[in-house]
Chains A and B, each alone.
Chain A
Amino acid sequence: MTTTTDTLVPFAAAVQRYEPLIGLETHVELGTRTKMFCGCLTTFGAEPNSQVCPVCLGLPGSLPVVNRMAIEYTIRIGLALNCSIATWCRFARKNYFYPDMPKNFQISQYDEPLCTDGWLDVAVGMRTIRVRIERVHLEEDTGKSLHVGGATGRIHGAEYSLVDYNRAGIPLVEIVTKPIEGTGADAPVAARAYVTELRDLLRSLSVSDVRMEEGSLRCDVNTSLAPRGAGHWGTRTETKNVNSLRSVERAVRFEIERQAAMLDSGGRVILQTRHLHEDTGTTTPGRSKEEAQDYRYFPEPDLVPVAPPAEWVEQIRAALPELPSARRARLQAEWDLSEADMTALSNAGALDLVAETVAAGASPADARKWWLGELARRANEAGTEPADLAITPAQVARIAELVSAGTLNDRLAREVIDAVLAGAGSPDEVVAARGLAVVSDEAALTTAIDEAIAANPDVVAKIRDGKVAAVGVLVGAVMKATRGKANAARVRELILKRLT
Chain B
Amino acid sequence: MELTRMTAAELSAALAKSEVSATEVTQAHLDRIAAVDDRVHAFLHIAADSALAQATAVDKRRKTGEQLAPLAGVPVAVKDVFTTIGLPTTCGSRILDGWHPPYDATITQRLKQAGAIIIGKTNMDEFAMGSSTENSAFGPSRNPWDLARVPGGSSGGSAAAVAAYEAPLAIGTDTGGSIRQPAAVCGIVGTKPTYGGSSRYGVVAFASSLDTPGPFGRTVLDAALLHEAISGHDPMDSTSIDAPVPPVVAAAREADVSGMRIGVVTDLSGDGYQPGVLFRFGEAVELLESLGAKVTEVSCPHFKYALPAYYLIAPSEASSNLARFDAMRYGLRVGDDGRRDAEEVMALTRAEGFGAEVKRRIILGTYALSSGYYDAYYGKAQKVRTLIIRDFDAAFGQVDVLVSPATPTTAFPLGERADDPMAMYLADLCTIPSDLAGNAAISVPCGLAAEDGLPVGLQVMAPAMADDRLYRVAAAAEAALAGRWGQPLLASAKGLGG
Contact = CB atoms under 8 A, between A and B. Distances in A.
Contact of A102 (B81, B209, B329, B342): B329
B330 interface: yes
B103 interface: yes
A155 interface: yes
Interface in A90-108: 93, 95, 97, 99, 102-105
Given A296-B369, A301-B209, A302-B208, A58 B82 contact: no
Given A97-B346, A104-B326, A156-B341, A60 B370 contact: no
A166 to B, nearest CB: 14
B191 interface: no
A93 B322 CA distance: 13
Interface string B176-213: 00000000000000000000000011111101110000
Nearest to A294: B371
A43 to B, nearest CB: 22
A200 to B, nearest CB: 35
A97 B343 contact: yes
B347 to A, nearest CB: 9
Interface string A292-314: 00101110011110000000000
B320 A298 contact: yes
Contacts of A155: 341-342
B201 A62 contact: yes
Contact of A95 (B209, B237, B369): B369
B349 to A, nearest CB: 12
A446 interface: no
A41 B329 CA distance: 21
B320 A61 contact: no
A58 B205 CA distance: 11
Contacts of B329: 57-59, 102
Contacts of B316: 298
A304 to B, nearest CB: 5
Interface in A273-308: 294, 296-298, 301-304
A296 B366 contact: yes
B450 interface: no
Contacts of A102: 324, 329
B320 A105 contact: yes
A87 to B, nearest CB: 19
Interface string B201-245: 111110111000000000000000000000000011111000000
A104 B350 CA distance: 13
Interface residues of A, number: 31
B320 A65 contact: no
A401 B146 CA distance: 99
A304 B195 CA distance: 13
Contact of A61 (B82, B207, B342, B370): B82
A463 interface: no
A65 B102 CA distance: 19
A360 to B, nearest CB: 49
Contacts of A58: 324, 329
B328 interface: yes
Nearest to B313: A301
12 contacts: A61-B81, A61-B83, A61-B89, A63-B236, A95-B323, A102-B329, A105-B320, A161-B342, A296-B319, A296-B371, A301-B209, A302-B208
A391 B346 CA distance: 54
Interface string A104-132: 11000000000000000000000000000
A62 B369 contact: no
Q: Chain A contact residues: over half helix, strand or loop, or mixed?
A: loop
Closest 5 CB pairs of A and B: A104-B323, A301-B208, A296-B369, A301-B209, A60-B204
B202 A61 contact: yes
Contacts of A99: 326, 328, 342
A66 interface: yes
A104 B324 contact: yes
Q: How large is the interface on B (under 10, 10 to 19, 20 to 34, 35 or more residues)?
A: 35 or more
A64 B239 CA distance: 10
Interface string B109-140: 00000000000000000000000000000000
Contact of B326 (A65, A97, A297): A97
Nearest to A57: B329
Contact of B320 (A93, A161, A163): A93
Contact of B201 (A61, A97, A297, A301): A61
Contacts of A104: 323-324, 326
A294 B324 contact: no
Nearest to B328: A99
A153 interface: no
B324 A304 contact: no
A423 interface: no
A54 interface: yes
Nearest to B365: A296
A156 B342 CA distance: 9
Contact of B200 (A63, A95, A303): A63
Interface string B92-108: 00001001011101000
A61 B105 contact: yes
Contacts of B208: 301-302
B325 to A, nearest CB: 8
Contacts of A93: 320
Contacts of B371: 294, 296
B342 A65 contact: no
A294 B372 CA distance: 10
Most B CB within 10 A of own CB, among A62, A64, A66, A103? A62
A304 B196 CA distance: 11
A104 B65 CA distance: 50
Nearest to A104: B323
Contacts of B343: 97
A63 B238 contact: yes
A301 B91 CA distance: 20
B238 A61 contact: no
A65 B83 CA distance: 18
Contacts of A66: 238
Given A63-B238, A93-B320, 19 more contacts: A59-B103, A60-B83, A60-B99, A60-B204, A60-B325, A61-B101, A61-B103, A63-B237, A95-B369, A97-B346, A102-B329, A156-B341, A294-B370, A294-B371, A296-B369, A298-B317, A298-B320, A301-B208, A301-B239
Interface in B233-263: 235-239
B374 interface: yes
A97 B362 CA distance: 14
A58 B325 CA distance: 10
B392 interface: no
